[in-house]
Amino acid sequence: MSASNDVRGSAFVLFRLGDEEYGVSIERVRSIIRYEEPTPVPRAPEAVKGVVNLRGKVVPVLDLMHRLRLGTFVPGPTARIVVAEGAGGMLGLAVDAASEVITIPDDALKPAPEGAVTQESAAMLAGVAELDGRLVILLELDAAVPGSEYAHVGGDVGIGED
């Protein structure tokens, strides 16, 4: 057995927001779908773009760019919704593109640089990885998108619910 077979790592779904690449643990991702314009929800939190129906389940869709203070998401032809399981339930992350699933070796994961992030933003980051000369920011989903921001917006499709 070669040493390369012994390398341990974690799998991430990579996606793009603007010019930057991000990743979230594949263990949290349930599906990746083509972007469809969500149905707006009155009085929803500012980062919630609305909801979509995914196989009978109403899933809130979040503007991750807005949540991370990177601007506002504008869907393009490669836009996707990364459906993930967060602490508050299922949620959709509006992203510019979902590119690949990759296993990142544990030794390639680095903590976020202390001087570049606040304490709040450091909690959102699972780390940073350098892959083939590019940096990928790895998100800690529950800290980046707290359930309190979307949990009350989604739910099962039902009739006669108050």
100-123: string of b/e by CB count within 10 Å (b at 16+)?
Answer: eebebeeebbeebeeeeeeeeeee
Q: Can you list the domains of the chain with their CATH numbers?
A: 3-144 (2.40.50.180)
Each of the 162 residues of the chain gets a pLDDT tens digit; together they read 334 445 577 899 999 999 999 999 999 999 999 999 999 999 888 889 999 999 999 999 999 998 888 888 999 999 999 999 988 889 999 999 998 899 988 888 888 776 666 666 667 788 889 888 888 999 988 888 776 666 666 554 433 333
User: Where are the extended beta strands (E) located within the chain?
Assistant: 9-17, 20-25, 29-34, 48-54, 57-63, 80-86, 89-95, 97-105, 109-110, 125-131, 134-139, 155-156
